[in-house]
Amino acid sequence: MKCFHSGSGKRFLEPCLLVLLNSQADYGYNLITRLTRYGFDDSYPDVGTLYRVLRDMEQSGFITSSWKAGESGPAKRIYSLTNAGREALNFRISILKHNLTYISLLVRDVEGESP
């Protein structure tokens, strides 16, 4: 079962990218591959969506990018997290933790496990 479709995954994509870039700077293509850890698949995000979100995050000051010469091909853009990006990540994680409480309650209610 797909975890995300284009409409439902956009709000989750940015915090996932912040987490991935917090652990290491990376290229767009590698980020798409690493996103599978969080339920994304081949159909979402597509390359265009990923780069739009990365561009928006860069304009917001959460990440920076630079060109790095490729070993066997053209230069590639590598993305890195900024201090503002770390602050944004911490804020988004606090929101996700808060929402997790209510999501868990909702699931328990649906499954008939309420106290």
Residue 1, pLDDT score: 44
Q: Which domain holds residue 42?
A: 6-110
Q: Percentage of the chain with pLDDT > 90?
A: 70
Mean of pLDDT over the chain: 89
Residue 115 domain-assigned? no
In a domain, 82, yes or no: yes
- Domain membership of residue 1 (yes or no) is no
Q: What is the mean pLDDT of residues 66-71?
A: 85
The answer as to whether 86 is a domain residue is: yes
Residue 27 covered by a domain: yes
pTM (two decimals):
0.84
Q: What is the CATH number of the domain that holds 17?
A: 1.10.10.10
Residue 112: per-residue pLDDT? 86
* Longest Cα–Cα distance in the chain: 60
Predicted pLDDT at 45: 87
Q: Which residues of 18-51 are buried (b: 16+ CB within 10 A; e: fewer)?
A: bbbbeeebbebeebbebbeebebeeebbeeeebe
For the chain, what is the domain count? Answer: 1
